[in-house]
Amino acid sequence: MKVLVTVKEVAAVEDDFEIDGLSIDDRYLEYDLNEWDDYAVEAAVQIAEAADEDVEVVAATIGPERSEETIRMALAKGADRAVRVWDDAIADQTLLDVNAKASVFEQVVAEEEPDLVLTGVQAADDALGATGVALANRVGYQWAAVVNDLDYAAGDDVATVRRELEGGVEEITEVDLPAVLSIQTGINEPRYASLRGIRQAQQKEIAPHDLSDLGLDAETVDGALELTDMYEPESESDATIFEGGAEETATELANVLRDKGVVGE
Amino acid sequence: MSDVLFVAEHRRGDLRDVSYEGITAGRELADALGGDLHVAVISGSVEAFAESLNTPAVDAIHTVEAGEEFDHDTYAAATEALHAELDPAALLLPNSVNGLDYAPAVADSLGLPYASDAVDVAYDDGLTVTREMYGSKVETTVDVAGDQFVVSIRSGEWPAASGAGEASLEAFEFDADSVDDGARVQGYEEVGSGDVDISEADFLVSIGRGIEEEENLDLIRDLCDATGATLSSSRPIVDNGWLPKNRQVGQSGKQVTPDVYLAIGISGAVQHVAGMKGAETIIAINTDPNAPIFDIADYGIVGDLFDVVPALIEEFE
Ligand SMILES: Cc1cc2nc3c(=O)[nH]c(=O)nc-3n(C[C@H](O)[C@H](O)[C@H](O)COP(=O)(O)OP(=O)(O)OC[C@H]3O[C@@H](n4cnc5c(N)ncnc54)[C@H](O)[C@@H]3O)c2cc1C
């Protein structure tokens, strides 16, 4: 069987940063594998490791050449190979919308024909939280969003999942395959890449595709959403900030706690 | 085509707060568009729900009988059928965990643009959605092209609608049996009970990813011992297995309302804040002066927890 994992390189923003037009100045960004995708990769690799049959884990990403370094981390952790889609038309978008992402991955799914697709619940940067479910709908797979427990053995026709609802309630659901599951953090313990894994990853394939390779044109990704402004949110803070060194500020804070009557003397 | 359709949300017999907030958001948008606000409620005791949702802001309520609880195929199919019938400009859905499970499918089936997790919406010859990126570090505005669109709204951003209204009530004919059953809900389980109930505590010391290593938690335990506080945490600490689930504060953890909530090394992500904004006094210790947690804090220290916490422990020894 085959498991496709969608992965994304996302940037974390340093404490102090500057906005340059419609994006954060690159100097303040640190790129890494999206946190949620790390758990999705682990879930896929665990299925492959536990299987009697051959399970191929393919990572798919929409990202520029720079992202290969990050995608290689997924390979180092056990994915067998990767597909990377990028195009000038994608780079031109201020915000790649869900429709565009679903259209790209639809073609990847058509080519790879996976039995199971794992995505992260959301990407930490744009936080659209929609690619997996939109993709499932597009390709006619079943799906489940926000999965924090997965009971599935390679070759099974049904996966039993838990969806993490609000307020400490979990929904237990059976999902027929083929399916797309959006994976929540905490579902497993993502491994660190071993030195051997990192070495092996250098030999693994990251196949680049542009839109025309996938039979798509620029219009497909020219979505209806356009970013028009980015700014630091106006601070609504009216917090009293204690200034000074650790001792001074701790003393002030201790006084507040005593005032509130939550610590006795 | 200037109406707004909002789909309410309920679970195990209760309407969720976002249902009333969505009415407020929907009314604002309907007024800007010059149309009516339709509210749909799908599955469960739809008539009782309709009565609760019948607030002055609502023009029409559509009830759809279809099972008891949320299942995405039913919700998607019913919403698409309602959309075909009402042809609204805007379809508004909650950006809840269940919203995440059907809104993208509905938008995709309808072939409409989808803007998720809106914290504000405005319409002036076109839709503009305000949404956050990079874990609330920046806010963005997004223009949505076209005259029909799907928007999911973040909970807690609009005031809840209230009062008794005079909306028309209509039962919407929908054949629930014809819906795909490839995903079958088997049941629910409450998780996260255990030795302590953090929602009972008067004073919570809550620790986040700023603690860096599991060993460092001892420092926070010492602070709890010195002050008599109860220990809680943000999600990553629980995801890492460093604390049990019953210590997690937030959307998928516990909602807490202590007298004092001391957040240490916690950025203040929306899903965390959802669980603790009701605390009487919020105090934050964080190295990042721009961390969103300071927006809701009453007192703060911009500083390194590894310096401040030992000094604080000393104060009480
Ligand atoms: C569907 C869904 C449900 C979720 N449910 C929850 C939930 O219930 N609860 C929850 O908490 N999260 C939840 N999350 C996750 C949430 O989005 C955030 O990822 C999480 O809250 C971040 O936790 P954090 O603040 O501890 O970590 P981070 O966001 O990484 O913040 C760490 C903070 O520590 C500060 N820091 C670092 N070093 C130091 C130091 N030495 N001294 C002082 N400060 C320091 C940093 O400046 C930063 O602000 C959910 C997410 C999703 C998508």
Handedness of CA B42, B46, B48, B53 (dihedral sign): positive
* Chain mean pLDDT for chain B: 96
Q: Which residues pair with B118 in a beta bridge?
A: B153
In a domain, A59, yes or no: yes
Do residue A155 and residue A206 come from a single domain?
Answer: yes
* DSSP-derived secondary structure for B47-103: HHHHHHH--TT-SEEEEE---SS--HHHHHHHHHHHHHHH--SEEEEE-SHHHHHHH
Count how many residues are written for chain B. 317
User: Among all chains, which residue has been given the structure tokens 């009216």?
Assistant: A238
From the number of C-beta atoms within 10 Å of its C-beta (0-12, 13-18, 19+), residue B300 rates as buried
Determine the Cα–Cα distance for residues A150 and B71; give it in Å rounded to an integer: 18
Q: Are B260 and B238 in contact (CB under 8 A)?
A: no
Among candidate residues A112, A166, A109, A168, the one with its CA nearest the CA of residue A143: A109
* Distances A177 to A1, A182, B102 between C-alpha atoms, Å: 11, 14, 18
Distance from CA of B98 to the nearest CA of A (A): 7
Q: Where along chain B do its domains lie?
A: 4-178, 198-316
Residues of chain A contacting residue B206, judged by C-beta atoms under 8 Å apart: none
- Write down how long chain A is: 265
Domain presence at residue A244: yes
Q: How far is CA B287 from CA A63, A239, B298, in A?
A: 32, 15, 17
Average pLDDT for consecutive 10-residue bins of chain B (317 residues)? 96 96 98 98 98 98 97 98 98 98 98 98 96 94 97 97 97 93 96 86 97 98 97 97 96 96 97 96 96 95 98 95
What's the CATH number where A159 sits?
3.40.50.620
Are residues A122 and A199 located together in one domain of the fold?
Answer: yes
pLDDT of residue A129 exceeding 60:
yes
> Does residue A229 fall inside a structural domain?
no
Residue A206 domain-assigned?
Answer: yes
Whether residue A181 is found in the same domain as residue A263: no
Q: Name the CATH superfamily housing domain B4-178.
A: HUPs (3.40.50.620)
Inter-chain Cβ pairs, chain A and chain B, closer than 8 A: 279
Task: Say if CB A50 and CB A14 are below 8 A apart.
Answer: no
**Domains in chain A, number:** 2
Q: How far apart are CA B69 and CA B12, in angstroms?
A: 7
| Residues A90 and A127 grouped into a single domain | yes
- Whether residues A50 and A137 share a domain: the answer is yes
A177 and A263 part of one domain: no
* Mean pLDDT rounded to a whole number for chain A: 96
Spell out the CATH class of B198-316.
Answer: alpha beta
DSSP code at position A262 = S
Contact B186 A223 (CB under 8 A): no
Ligand 1: which of B100, B191, B234 to mutate, judged by most atoms within 8 Å of the beta carbon? B234
How far apart are the C-alpha atoms of B32 and B4, rounded to whole Å? 10
Interface check for A173 against chain B (CB to CB < 8 A): the answer is yes
Q: Tell me the CA–centroid distance for residue B272 and ligand 1, in Å.
A: 7
Question: Are A142 and A181 in the same domain?
Answer: yes
Q: Are residues A245 and A200 in the same domain?
A: no
A17 and A132 in a common domain: yes
pLDDT at B285 (0 to 100): 98
Q: Which domain holds residue A174?
A: 2-221
Q: How far apart are CA B28 and CA B187, in angstroms?
A: 37
- State the pLDDT at residue B192: 80
H-assigned helices in chain B: 17-33, 46-53, 72-86, 97-110, 217-227, 235-239, 270-276, 293-296, 305-315
**Could you give the percent of chain B with pLDDT greater than 90?**
95
Q: Which of A130, A236, A253 sits opposite B114 (nearest CB)?
A: A130
At A192 the three-state DSSP class reads: coil
Q: Is B250 in the pocket of ligand 1 (CB under 6 A)?
A: yes
Which residues are CB-neighbours of A7 under 8 A, at least 6 positions away? A33, A34, A37, A40, A41, A59, A60, A61, A70, A71, A74, A82, A120
Shortest distance between the Cα of B186 and any Cα of chain A, in A, equals 5
> What's the pLDDT at A130?
98
Tokens in use for A34? Answer: 């999206």
Residues facing residue A242 across a β-bridge: B301
Residue A27 lies in a domain: yes
Which residues, 6+ apart, have CB-to-CB distance to A246 below 8 Å?
Answer: B303, B304, B307, B308, B310, B311
Query: What does the alpha-carbon distance between residue B93 and residue B81 come to, in Å, rounded to a whole number?
Result: 15
Indicate yes or no: CB of A173 within 8 angstroms of CB of B297.
no
Q: Which of B121, B62, B69 has the alpha carbon at shortest distance from B95? A: B121
CA of A95 to the centre of ligand 1 (A): 25
- The residue contributing the CA closest to ligand 1 atom 43 is B286
- Is residue A217 domain-shared with residue A262, that is, in the same domain? no
Q: A20: number of CA atoms within 13 Å, CB side?
A: 7
Residue B202 CA to residue A208 CA, distance in Å, equals 56
pLDDT of res. A265: 53
Strands B183-190 and A169-176: antiparallel
- Name the pLDDT band for A35 (thresholds 50, 70, 90): very high
Q: What is the pLDDT of residue B195?
A: 78
Give domain status of residue A227, yes or no: no
The candidate with the shortest Cα–Cα distance to B74, out of B62, B66, B86, B63, is B66
For residues A172 and A215, state if they share a domain.
yes
Cβ(B209) to ligand 1 under 6 A?
Answer: yes
Q: Of the candidates B128, B185, B292, which has its C-beta nearest A171's C-beta?
A: B185
Cis peptide before A178 (omega within 30 of 0): yes
Task: Assess whether the C-beta atom of B253 lies below 6 angstroms from ligand 1.
Answer: yes
pTM confidence score: 0.95
Task: Report pLDDT for A235.
Answer: 79
**A246 to chain B nearest CA, in Å?**
5
Tell me whether the CATH fold assigned to B4-178 matches the one assigned to B198-316: yes
- Quote the CA–CA distance of B258 and A131 in Å, as a whole number: 37
Q: Is the distance from the beta carbon of residue B154 to the nearest atom of ligand 1 less than 6 Å?
A: no
Average pLDDT of A15-22? 94
In a domain, A26, yes or no: yes
Distance from CA of B38 to the nearest CA of A (A): 24
Please report the pLDDT score of residue B124 as a whole number: 94
What is the C-alpha separation between B84 and B129, in angstroms, rounded? 24
pLDDT at B286: 98
Q: A132 and A87 share a domain?
A: yes
